[in-house]
């Protein structure tokens, strides 16, 4: 990957910092924009870099939703502002632990079996949550409200922005490490990687745990921001959030650093415009968009661009003198 132009960072930083105060009326959409970025980045670790299409990453998001809410309800150490960051980290850790736990069974599956297996995991989690009284069962769970006067969504937009930034740079750092190569090896030929003695099980489990963490944090944020967690429509919302995370990564270009970010922006903005201008028809339009993405952009916007201008993406196409 070639180095990213500096102006891109500057523009994104400006959006993250100024947009919530300048446009407080859309603060909630802004918060969701950054959450979408987190969704796509996290999914891409497995789906893009490692070639494992997880349809059940919503599991980690849902765990995060409940983890923070229950932490605030039952412990609430140090009051709201202390408990919030601790609770968000707790949500991430719990999600990662779940990834390690379920990884033992799921990561032995390959390709479509993994996809279907993880899909089942997400659905099952929703059903379990809907029948578990401790977390409100099917009636849902109300979350602690942020003790601020005025528009809490402005604060959430910043918290979501910070989460996206940390996720982005953590992954950027991760991918230049050896694990980046290990993920690529598993994606290209897992049997070969095994035959070379690569600790594939460990790499896969780590990758899933790493992708679960930001999803857990995102779950905590969204559950709190909504003020209410419905087990099927928010926490384990496979048909919406769960599907979107996959689409955004594919749309932007899976396996690239900026692809998921770009995909999240394009998707979230398009979706919001549909909601505003296509009353009644938004869901159908969204469905059409989803089909169009999969049919016309199987490799995503950046994947397509990289094919056209490989040098710009740091791919050396000419031979180097020995």
List contacts with another protein (CB under 8 A).
Answer: 174, 176-179, 181-182, 184-185, 187-189, 191-203, 206, 315-317, 319-322
User: 61 near 232, Cβ under 8 Å?
Assistant: no
Report d(CA 162, CA 167) in Å as an integer: 8
Q: Which is nearer to another protein, 20 or 255 (CB)?
A: 255
Closest approach, Cβ 218 to another protein, in A, equals: 22
Residue 79 or residue 321: which is nearer to another protein going by CB?
Answer: 321
Closest to another protein by CB, 24 or 184: 184
Smallest gap from Cβ 313 to another protein, in A, equals 12
Residue in the structure block whose two tokens are 């209410």? 228
Q: How far is the CB of 176 from another protein (least distance, A)?
A: 6
- Which contacts (CB < 8 Å, 24+ apart) does range 20-28 have? 20/153, 20/154, 20/157, 20/158, 20/161, 21/154, 24/151, 24/153, 24/154, 27/151, 27/153, 27/154, 27/156, 27/157, 28/153, 28/156, 28/157, 28/225
- Residue located via tokens 């290990």: 182
| Interacting residues of 60 by C-beta distance below 8 A, sequence separation 6+ | 42, 95, 96, 98, 99, 211, 212, 213, 215, 216, 219
Bridge partners of 6? none
Residues in the chain: 322
Is the Cβ of residue 177 or residue 239 nearer to another protein in the bound state? 177
**Smallest separation (angstroms) from another protein to the CB of 293:** 22
Query: What stretch of H or E contains 261?
Result: helix 259-277
Pick 3 or 25: Cβ nearer another protein: 3
Tokens at 318, concatenated: 């000419």
Closer Cβ to another protein, 89 or 198, answer by number: 198
Q: How far is the CB of 286 from another protein (least distance, A)?
A: 31
In the complex with another protein, which residue's Cβ is closer, 182 or 301?
Answer: 182
Q: How far is CA 202 from CA 89, 116, 244, 314, in A?
A: 23, 22, 28, 29
Nearer to another protein, 53 or 72 (CB): 53
User: Least distance to another protein from the beta carbon of 90, Å?
Assistant: 22
Least CB distance to another protein at residue 307 (A): 12
Shortest Å distance, C-beta 56 to another protein: 24
DSSP at 321 = P
């Amino acid at each position: 990957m070639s180095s990213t132009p500096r102006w891109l960072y500057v523009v994104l930083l400006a959006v993250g910092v100024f947009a919530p105060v300048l446009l407080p009326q859309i603060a909630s959409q802004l918060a969701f924009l950054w959450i979408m970025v987190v969704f796509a980045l996290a999914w891409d670790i497995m789906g893009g870099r490692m070639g494992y299409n997880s349809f059940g990453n919503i599991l980690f998001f849902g765990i995060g939703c409940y983890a923070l809410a229950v932490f605030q309800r039952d412990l609430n150490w140090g009051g709201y502002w202390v408990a919030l960051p601790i609770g968000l980290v707790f949500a991430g850790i719990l999600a990662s632990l779940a990834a390690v736990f379920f990884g033992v069974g799921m990561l032995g599956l390959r390709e479509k079996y993994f996809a279907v297996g993880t899909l089942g995991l997400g659905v099952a989690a929703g059903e379990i949550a809907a029948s578990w009284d401790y977390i409100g069962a099917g009636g849902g769970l109300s979350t602690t409200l942020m003790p601020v006067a005025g528009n809490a969504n402005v604060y959430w937009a910043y918290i979501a922005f910070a989460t996206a930034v940390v996720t982005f740079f953590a992954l950027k750092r991760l991918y230049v490490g050896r694990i980046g190569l290990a993920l690529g090896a598993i994606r290209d030929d897992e049997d070969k990687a095994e035959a070379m003695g690569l600790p594939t099980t460990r790499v896969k489990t780590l990758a899933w745990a790493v992708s679960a963490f930001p999803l857990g944090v995102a779950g905590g944020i969204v559950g709190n921001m909504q003020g209410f967690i419905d087990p099927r429509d928010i926490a384990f919302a496979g048909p919406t959030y769960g599907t979107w995370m996959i689409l955004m990564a594919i749309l932007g270009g899976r396996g690239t650093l900026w692809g998921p970010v770009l995909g999240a922006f394009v998707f979230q903005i398009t979706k919001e415009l549909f909601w505003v201008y296509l009353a009644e028809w938004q869901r159908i339009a969204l469905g059409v968009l989803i089909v169009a993405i999969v049919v016309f952009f199987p490799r995503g916007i950046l994947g397509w661009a990289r094919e056209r201008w490989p040098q710009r993406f740091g791919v050396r196409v000419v031979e180097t003198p020995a």
